[in-house]
Amino acid sequence: MHEAQLSSVTVGRKLAAVRSFGNFLCREGELQINPARQVRNPKTEQRLPRFLTESDVDALLGFVDDSPVGHRDRALLELLYATGLRASEITGLDLDAIRPDAMLRVLGKGSKERLVPFGQRARQALDTWLRVRTTWLGGDAPHGRKLEAEKAADARAAVFLSERGARLSTDGLRRILDRRLRESPIAKRVTPHALRHSFATHLLNSGADLRAIQELLGHESLATTQRYTHLSTRRLQDIYRSSHPRARRNKDE
């Protein structure tokens, strides 16, 4: 696998499968010792999360139009950036998860529930979309079709709908983001998760407490949240190098 120049993540995943198979053979009495246990996982490169700058976010949302589909997309992207939700969490949102105090009741990984606040811009975009959503449920969705009883009931509960009138899927969310990025001046590859990273990075850069960010993101471990400190540290270094007279390079260097 090293000769084939596979990534350390791929190698580690394949080794895990071999170890699992070795454990099975030991349980079945075919082996006394699992030889794969002696093979170490390769060190994985610690990559910094991709994120958008604040001006990138403004540019992305500035290119969303005022059509019914545009109202849905704006509410979706505003809420995604305002809350840092995972793709599955935002597509899984039900109407009863929206509280009057501008908080969302979110069901995260491991069915753990948390409360996440959202701001005024997201609130306004969401209110506009919910008025459009009512007409989509009434049969005016752009590509609406009759749904099976179970899917229709699920759509009635869902906050975000596809253009067919069903609950929006995570794949549908990615397609929406891809389309809006193509229409914007942003020359970056951005996923829904990058908006989650942007949410955390911008909070941290503005002085938010790491523990609070951990709670908002729904991270089990603080170590998972701490990778955002690398981004903040890098930004501080850039500011220092460009601002401190003894840190700047000489013009003739």
- Is 121 a known active-site residue? no
The pLDDT value recorded for residue 29 is 93
The C-alpha torsion from 230 through 234 and 235 to 238, rounded to 10°, is: 170
Angle (deg, nearest 10), helices 222-243 and 192-205: 60
What's the confidence (pLDDT) of residue 253? Answer: 46
Known active-site residue 109: yes
Distances in whole angstroms, Cα of residue 205 to Cα of each of 81, 231, 248:
15, 9, 22
Catalytic-role residue among 164, 219, 227, 230: 219
What was the pLDDT predicted at 210?
84
CATH 1.10.443.10 fits 54-189, yes or no: yes
The pLDDT of residue 96 is 95
Which of 14, 99, 109, 156 is labelled catalytic? 109
Q: What is d(CA 180, CA 85) in angstroms, rounded to the nearest whole number?
A: 19
**Catalytic-role residue among 114, 121, 164, 193:** 193
219 is catalytic: yes
Spatial separation of the C-alpha atoms in residues 179 and 88, rounded to whole Å? 19
Give me the count of residues in the chain. Answer: 253
Question: Out of 86, 167, 197, 202, which one is annotated catalytic?
Answer: 86
pLDDT tens, N- to C-terminus, the chain (253 residues): 888 888 888 888 899 999 999 999 999 999 999 998 888 887 766 555 577 888 999 999 888 999 999 999 999 999 999 999 999 999 999 999 999 999 999 988 878 899 999 999 999 999 999 999 999 987 888 888 888 888 889 999 999 999 999 999 999 999 999 999 999 888 778 889 889 988 988 888 888 888 888 889 988 888 777 776 665 566 666 666 766 676 665 544 4
C-beta separation of 161 from 176 below 8 A: no
Those residues with Cβ within 8 angstroms of residue 208's Cβ, 6 or more apart along the chain or in another chain: none
> How far is 82 from 207, CA to CA, in rounded Å?
16
Choosing from 71, 72, 133, 196, the catalytic residue is 196
| Strand arrangement of the beta sheet that strand 98-99 belongs to | 98-99, 103-107, 113-117
pLDDT given at position 231: 58
Separation between Cα atoms, residue 160 and residue 68, nearest integer Å:
12
Of 174, 176, 177, 184, nearest in space to 59 by CA: 184
Do 38 and 112 contact (CB within 8 A), yes or no?
no
Q: Is residue 121 exposed (0-12), middle (13-18) or buried (19+ Cβ within 10 Å)?
A: middle
DSSP secondary structure code for residue 29 in this structure? T
* pTM, entire model: 0.73
Amino acid at 29: G
